[in-house]
Structure 1
Amino acid sequence: MKSIKLLTNNDLAKITNHRSGEIKFGEKMITLPAKENYHDFLKNTTAQFVLLGISEDIGVRANYGRSGTASAFKNALKSIVNIQHNKFCKGSNLIALGEIDVSHLMEEAKNLAITNKEDKKRLFEIVSAIDKEVSHIVHEIINTGKIPIIIGGGHNNAYGNIKGLALAKGKPVNAINFDAHTDFRIMEGRHSGNGFTYAFEDGFLKNYFIFGLHESYVSKSVFQTIKDLKERIAYNTYEEIEVRKTKEFNVELENALRFIKTEPFGIELDLDAIPNVYSSAMTPSGFSMQQAREYVHFFGKHKNASYLHICEGAPDLDETNNNHLTGKLIAYLITDFMKSKTIS
């Protein structure tokens, strides 16, 4: 896996806060032996889940967003390794694979300006290159029978996740997305705002449900596109559920599941849908952290739930002494997903 910067036991030990009488996740998480065949190792390991990081913000910048999402994986990892390994959730059920090596692309992209026509084109090309890496690795993980948990980067990486799942299953797949935005904008070149559009048009995405759209942040043209494709794209809005109260959160979870459950599906969660979480499009209004956790658990427990992707978190934008809280939230969501598959 040349494109992966593999994590080692030593890497985990350095950031694990060891304490007498306790067992932390970092002491039990599984890492890939340096000279082992990764496919055989993943296939033969009893752990169900594979943790994969994507430390990039190129897709966000190509979408005129704020940089910072490259910091989410490392930030989250520090929280994940310090979770307690106990009867509710075991570190030994998680393979800490590592992160996709995009350092050379990040280095190139930092000198590119979205306001420059040629630079913008190159940013789109770089995002497409990342797509190929993500789809290949997600495909490989799923082919070993494991469930990827993908952390970090912009929502552009939804494309690679969906493509990787579709290739592994040999057919188009579905997706559910907890998000303030559709990320179904026009195909003007790859960025964080059109990953689902490209996955749909390229034949990898069959049914797509957006959970909790913010009505004032979706264009009229995108709403028209969704209307034209209503047999395959559906949504509800945050305002319907929490402001006007014309729909109920739990009922909407069930409605969304019916729309996607007949095929393997990916669970997407954009942290910019949760108030006051540092992200590229931070919001003061939206579903609570509790509701986000319920969302992950509810969809994760279905047999066709095939991956979890948590994106757009940007802890580096938090200049307070609490920038670890974004990583801690991600760790909660990861364990909620793991428990959904193991606790009935």
Structure 2
Amino acid sequence: MATNLVVYDLKKITPLITPRKGEEKLGEHIQLLQTDEPLKNQLQSSDAKYVLLGIPEHIGVIGNLGKPGTANAWQASLSFILNIQHNKFTKGSKILLLGHLDFSKDLKRIESLEGEEKVEEARKTTASIDKEVANLIYTIVFNGKKPIVIGGGHNNAYGMIKGTSLADGNAINCLNIDAHTDFRKREGRHSGNGFSYAYHEGFLKNYFAFGIHENYTSKKVFKKMDKNPDIQYNTFEELFVRKEKGLDFELKEAIDFVKSSKFGLEIDMDAIENMPSSAMTSSGLSLNTVRELVFSAKKSKNIAYLHVCEAAPNIDNPREITQVGKAIAYLVSDFIRK
């Protein structure tokens, strides 16, 4: 198993579940690893369709000179996911809850540094996190499961894409719902260049960036995307300000661009209006729109994973914890919904 993987058992999750007479919660039916057998054996023997995993880190965000806090999203959302109703629409038995990857020692070491040294060390450590994420995602996908990964910075898109690509034996496609392209220059690994590294190294083929903000996308990035036939995008302003493009049409165009082969679905919580995140926006997609996007994309037989990242709630703020936790729980339920 992955070196930093913390595997969850009943003792870990039971305190997070709030039982209620006459109701069944998703956490009461969710599958867990049962033995010390190799992970691949347990994945093969499990009839779960999805594997739920947390990555509580913001090392890649620090490497991108961003606002920390994405390490809190997994803790904020897990109890809300476990307390979804288990019913004919959302079945806990379809999910194997694996646990989380623990990079807290690395994070503590990096947070003790300052200036350029801090950024440099964060980028170096992000590259080592990439390897661990890619290896674990490879094992999950190769053994026939769809990962649902929560938390951390968007740097982890690289490991998601690489692991899935290696398991499939081909470059994969990706639909990224985001305010930013995260296709920045390859200057050392961080949360802003996961897709550019994955594309450059041959793990990513078709890439669609959905709802990017014209205010926060450079001329250089637009130029790079416009001349590359493997990249398509639409902007938030085209869709919702100038209304040059219809949402339903654009959603179909985006899914059609990626669905011909295995593809990942990336949800950057920065895209959602007023969501506590590493780059919170006062103008963005509604949560309901993103839920519709998730449900529409998951209907494709080639969808390989769901990655929800960049949420950054203040762990001491109950309102932010509830806002982020419930939002992520909705996105997870839409992904597994019948």
TM-score (norm 1): 0.96
Quote the Cα distance in structure 2 between the aligned partners of 1:9 and 1:259. 41
Deviations 1:250-270 (A, max 9, x none): 100111112111110000000
Gap change, CA 1:30 and 1:67, over 3 Å in 2: same
* SS state at 2:183 partner: coil
- Say whether the 8 Å CA contact 1:162–1:266 is kept in structure 2: yes
Which residue of structure 1 aligns with residue 308 of structure 2?
310
Q: Structure 2 stretches of 5 or more lacking a match? A: none
Alignment of 1:152 with 2:132, yes or no, is no
- Structure 1: how far apart are the matches of 2:210 and 2:113? 33
Across the aligned residues of Structure 1 and Structure 2, the Cα RMSD in angstroms comes to 1.2
Deviation at 1:38, TM superposition (A): 1.7
Structure 1 runs of 4+ off > 4 angstroms?
A: none
Report the Cα offset of residue 3 of structure 1. 2.5
Could you tell me which runs of 5 or more consecutive residues in structure 1 were left unpaired when the two chains were aligned.
none
Could you say what secondary structure the match of 1:86 adopts? coil
Aligned twin of 2:52: 51
Q: How does 1:326-337 map to 2 (within 5 A)?
A: 326-337=324-335
Residues 54 and 152 in structure 1, CA contact (< 8 A), matched pair in contact too: yes
Structure 1 residues 255 and 321, CA gap change in structure 2 (3 angstroms)? closer
Cα deviation digits, residues 202-246 of structure 1 (max 9, x gap):
1100110000011110001111111221x1001001111111111
Contact 2:314 2:320 in 1 (8 A): no
Q: Which amino acid aligns with 1:127?
A: T
Structure 1 residue 318: Cα displacement: 7.1
Name the SS for the 1:99 alignment partner.
Answer: strand
**1:73–1:223 CA distance, 2 compared to 1 (3 A):** same
Amino acid at match of 2:322: H
Q: Is the 8 A contact 1:175 1:260 kept in 2?
A: yes
Gap change, CA 1:154 and 1:322, over 3 Å in 2: closer
Match of 1:280 among 278, 281, 298: 278
What is the rounded CA distance, in whole Å, between the counterparts of 2:112 and 2:195 in structure 1?
27
Residue of structure 2 in register with 1:222 after alignment: 221
Query: C-alpha deviations, 1:183-220, integer Å up to 9, x for none?
Result: 00001111000000000001100110000011110001
Equivalent in the alignment of 1:81: 82
Shift of 1:153: 0.2
Instruction: Give CA deviations for 1:285-316 in whole Å, capped at 9, x if unaligned.
Output: 11110100001011111011000000001112
Instruction: Specify the code of the residue in structure 2 equivalent to 1:292.
Output: V
Task: Kindly tell me the number of residue pairs found equivalent between the two proteins.
Answer: 337
Aligned to 1:37: 38
Q: Would you say 1:258 and 2:259 are equivalent positions? A: no
Residue 161 of structure 2 is matched in structure 1 by: 162
Identify the residue that residue 15 of structure 1 maps to in structure 2: 16
Match of 1:92 in 2: 93
Distance 1:299 1:196 in 2: 19
CA distance in 1 between partners of 2:158 and 2:169 (Å): 16
Q: Tell me which amino acid in the other structure corresponds to 2:6.
A: K
8 Å CA contact retained: 1:32, 1:97: yes
Distance (Å, rounded) in 2 between the aligned partners of 1:112 and 1:234: 39
Separation in 2 of the partners of 1:120 and 1:156? 14
The answer to whether residue 249 in structure 2 is matched with residue 239 in structure 1 is no
SS in 2 for 1:184: coil
**Inter-partner Cα distance in structure 1 for 2:308 and 2:179:** 14
In 2, are the aligned partners of 1:112 and 1:123 still within 8 Å (CA)? no
CA distance in 1: counterparts of 2:118 and 2:83, whole angstroms:
41
Contact 1:25/1:80 (<8 A) preserved: yes
The verdict on how the C-alpha distance between 1:248 and 1:29 changes in structure 2, with shifts beyond 3 A counting, is: same
C-alpha deviation, 1:170, in angstroms: 0.7
Higher mean C-alpha displacement, 253-262 vs 312-321: 312-321
C-alpha separation in 1, matches of 2:28 and 2:318: 29
Q: Amino acid of the residue matched to residue 49 of structure 1?
A: Y
Measured in 2, the distance between the counterparts of 1:178 and 1:321 equals 24
Structure-2 separation of matches of 1:314 and 1:34: 34
Aligned to 1:111: 112
Task: Give the residue type in structure 1 aligned to 2:223.
Answer: Q
| Separation in structure 1 between the aligned mates of residue 217 and residue 98 of structure 2, nearest angstrom | 36
1:323 corresponds to = 321
Does the 8 Å CA contact 2:76/2:315 hold for their aligned counterparts? no
From the superposition, tell whether residues 239 and 318 of structure 1 become closer, same or farther in structure 2 (CA, over 3 Å). farther
- Please state whether the residue corresponding to 1:323 is helix, strand or coil: helix
Task: Specify the alignment match of 1:293 in structure 2.
Answer: 291
Question: For 1:293, what is the secondary structure of its paired residue?
Answer: helix
Alpha-carbon distance in 1 for matches of 2:186, 2:315:
29
SS at match of 1:316: coil
Matched to 1:150, the amino acid is V
Opposite residue 5 of structure 2, the aligned amino acid is I
For the Cα contact (< 8 Å) 1:278–1:317, is it kept in 2? no
Shift in Å, 1:317: 6.4
User: What's the CA shift for 1:319?
Assistant: 3.1
